[in-house]
Amino acid sequence: MRNKTLAAAAALGIAALGLSACAETLNTQVTRYQAMPAPQGQTFVVVPDGGMASNGGLEFQRYAAFVAQQLQARGYQPAATMQSANMIVQLGYGVDHGQMRYQSDPFGYDPFLGPSSRFFYPGFGRFGWGSPFYYGWYGGGYGGNLDSYVEYHSQAELHIRAAATNQPLFDGRAQARSQTNRLDVLVPDLVQALFTGFPGQNGETVKITIPTRTRTGAAY
């Protein structure tokens, strides 16, 4: 009995560590094309583009402020008016409705090894690109060996154009998979991914891991 209790405690400890690891990072795939001029005080204005940003509003303004902060940190300046801007920065973002995913529980009951085998199966927890953590076990007790979770796909796009000529200067897209659909969690992280190593190499696609801003209430 004592061995089973220790095994159960060990399994719960492993699960807690795994959940923490998922909740603290977001894995993104970033694609960038760029012909950005060297920063010389050029001015910009951030406007809504596609997806859930289309209607603008207070939520968009919050995310546009993140973009503005990133551009200012790199030597560009916000314009007083759209007419005085040297660059037009278009921001779009969105998240889908999610899909239910199923995966076998590696702690499932093995009829040949007995109930305690559910705590010692190898290979538990592959955290990384497209690898979700599990919310819990189905069925309760032994024999519940099928886990389910909802996987959401999110995306942020950034397009920068020269205001006078409409010449493209930067096209970027950041994509991620997560177990949350909260835009207030996802969009700032996707924006940060777009600006990690900005403007990047023309035509590159890179994987970037971002420490998440929200530690509670969301699992990745």
Domain that holds residue 52: 1-220
Over the Cα atoms of the chain, what is R_g? 22
> Phi and psi for 72 in degrees, rounded to 5?
-60, -40
Note whether 34 and 169 are within 8 A (CB): yes
pLDDT at residue number 28: 97
How far apart are the C-alpha atoms of 27 and 75, rounded to whole Å? 27
Q: How far apart are CA 25 and CA 58, in angstroms?
A: 26
Among 69-73, 74-78, 128-132, 174-178, the range scoring the smallest mean pLDDT is 128-132
Q: Averaged over 15-27, what is the pLDDT?
A: 54
Question: 16 and 219 in contact (C-beta within 8 Å)?
Answer: no
Which pTM was predicted? 0.69
Interval 151-172: pLDDT, tens: 999 999 999 999 999 999 999 9
Look at residue 102 in the predicted model and tell me its pLDDT.
84
Please check the confidence at residue 142 and state whether its pLDDT lies above 80. Answer: no
Mean of per-residue pLDDT scores for the chain: 76
Q: How many domains does the chain have?
A: 1
- Residue 191, pLDDT score: 97
Q: Looking at residue 91, what is its pLDDT?
A: 98
